[in-house]
Structure 1
Amino acid sequence: MESLLSLAFDNLSSFDGSKIKKGLRQVEGLLAQICLAGQCSPKKQGENQQQPPRRMLADLSPDPAFREFFKLQEGFEWNVAQRLLTTLDWLVVRGGDGSYDMLIVNALDLIQGVLLLHPPSRVLFQRSVHMNLLLDLLEPINSPAIQCATIITLVVALLDMPQNIRVFEALDGLLTVTSLFKSRETGREVKFRLTEFLYFYLTPETPNIPKPDRTSVIAGPELIPGSPGKSKLLASGGRQRSKSESGNTLSVDAKKQHLDRYLPGVVDELLKDLDTYKPFGGILS
């Protein structure tokens, strides 16, 4: 797997758009291979005319390829999210004319996938440089496709990470989101995604607390034997980290007050919708 990642990283580090595109495809292929490992063969799938069942993150835990991937993500050298963020930054700086828009969207989609496969990588967004990168992509100068992909990426980056939400707030993320939401120039699809984000923001915060059940990969990277540095630290200091995260959460009422400054009169309606329709299926409540 190191050799596959090395090839992809070499292309992602290139100054050639075609090589970057190839690198993104290589990362996508690797993630797809991990997610689809153990699924029925194409022949059987064609015979049954059925899509393979969805697999949850915990379902991937026994798969050797996934465990190897997860273990590699614990080190800086092979962390895919970090490489994708570096590539994304390069594309944003040099893509002012729209020539790299599709590559930017592809990079954002892959960042979403990596953060879902390796939740500990979300800690990268406690750094203001990475959070600011997402906020910059929400500026009106960017295309609706980029804005929509960014909003989804932002939700994934903040999910179960109260510290990340506090960084988002400290960098005036609420002002950025609500200004785009109120703008008459913002299209319907982007406003729909922004509404979803506001629903998400107003849901109760749940810190990502490691579970004692060592059979579930969702409990954290300490489940992967032999993981270097960071995993061992998390394994030994899980309780302290959990207390810190719990102390950094805000109540729904506190977040409502923050949001009311930018969207007066709207937040109560959003909370009513959350209570009545449960747009996230109750998963986040």
Structure 2
Amino acid sequence: MENLLSLSFDYLSSFDGVKIRKGLRQLEGLLAQICLSRTTTAAERRRSTAIDGVAKSSPKDLASLSEDPAFREFFKLQEGFEWNVAIRLISCLERLLGKGSNGQNDLLLVSTLDLLRGVLLIHPPSRSLFAREIYMNLLLDLLEPSSCPAVQSSAVLTLVTALLEQPSITRCFESLDGLLTVTSLFKNRGTSREVKLKLVEFLYFYLMPEIPYAGRDAANAHGGPHRSPSKASRLGSGGRERPEGAEGTKTTNEKQSLLGRYLNNVEDLVEDLKETAPFGTNFG
């Protein structure tokens, strides 16, 4: 696995778009081997091959994934700087962003962001990279009006993944005027409808009660990512009170006040969030 990672990192460090694409595909192949499983029976393989010409793959069950030797090896390698995939993808984003906007470069940006999102999901500790201002600013730069809609949409989704269960990174996002960046793009007349929908979804996500990630120790103890409970009932009355042990978090009311500096009718968003209760969130 180290040899494959080393080879893909060499390609990603290039300024040649063809080599970068090759490096991205190698990493995608590695993650596919770890996270997907081939159909097992001969009948299933023949049936899927007859229909599509290839044997289909399906996602592995999350519970079994953490027990998979290949996944455990990959997760362990991500704990060190030398083999961390996220930092390499972020560096690749920096180089691509410096090359300006054109069709091929935009495709590489989207592919890099998509892959980064997957890595952040299967190795949550890598999200801590975005607590550094230089890397958070990189995501915000991708949300500039000059970026193409596909890049903007992918950057919004990557931002959500970076902030997921990471209140300290959310505070970094706020301190760098991230809310101003997001709302300015939303109010820009040139922003596409698809991107605006993604931004509204982001605002709903931002306003939700915060549940901190359990941390490195829990991940190591289980040999993989720790899954926090999906319901926010552990946070008491949703947006109004900060529970014991949740230092560094903000309530929905506090975030509503911050967002209200840049956007009107935030109260309507909060009311809608309470009514729809996504992911079973209890706002009390």
TM tier relative to shorter chain: 0.7 to 0.9
Corresponding position: 1:219 with 2:226: yes
- 1:38–1:74 CA distance, 2 compared to 1 (3 A): farther
Taking structure 1 as the reference length, what is the TM-score of the superposition? 0.84
Alpha-carbon spacing, 1:108–1:73, altered in 2? closer, same or farther (3 Å): same
**Secondary structure of the residue that 2:225 maps to in structure 1?**
helix
Q: Is the 8 A contact 1:57 1:218 kept in 2?
A: no
Are the counterparts in 1 of residues 11 and 22 from structure 2 also a CA contact under 8 Å?
yes
* TM-score in terms of structure 2 length: 0.84
The one-letter code matched in structure 2 to 1:170 is: S
In the alignment, is the contact (CA less than 8 A) between 2:120 and 2:126 conserved in 1?
A: yes
- Segments of structure 2 that go 5 or more residues without pairing to the other structure are 228-242
Once the two structures are superposed, residues 10-60 of structure 1 have per-residue CA deviations (whole angstroms, 9 ceiling, x without a partner) of 100112111011001111111111101465368615537897654354331
Query: Identity percentage over the alignment?
Result: 54
How far apart are 1:246 and its partner, in Å? 2.5
The aligned runs of 1:241-256 (5 Å cut-off) are 246-256=246-256
Residues 1:186 and 2:185 are matched in the alignment: no
Q: Matched residue of 1:247: which SS? A: coil
Provide the aligned length of Structure 1 versus Structure 2.
261
> How much has 1:219 moved relative to structure 2?
2.7
Gap regions ≥5 residues in structure 1 = 221-242
Distance between the aligned counterparts of 1:174 and 1:55, measured in 2?
Answer: 36
Letter in 2 for 1:185: G
CA contact (8 A) 2:37 2:57 kept: no
Task: Tell me the distance in 1 between the aligned counterparts of 2:42 and 2:36.
Answer: 11
Q: 2:63 aligns with which of 58, 61, 65?
A: 58
Change (3 A) 1:244 1:136: farther
Greater CA deviation, 153-162 or 14-23?
A: 14-23
Amino acid of the structure 2 residue aligned with 1:127: R
Distance 1:89 1:245 in 2: 36
After superposition, the Cα gap between the structure-2 partners of 1:16 and 1:283, relative to the gap in structure 1 and judged at 3 Å, is: farther
Which residue number in structure 2 is paired with residue 268 of structure 1?
267
Match of 1:30 in 2: 30
The alignment partner of 2:18 has SS state of helix
CA–CA distance in structure 1, aligned partners of residues 155 and 76 of structure 2:
27
- Note closer, same or farther for the CA distance 1:181–1:65 as it changes in structure 2 (3 Å cut): same
CA deviations 1:197-249 (Å, max 9, x no partner) are 000000000011245994473339xxxxxxxxxxxxxxxxxxxxxx9982110
The 2-side partners of 1:244 and 1:133 are apart by 34
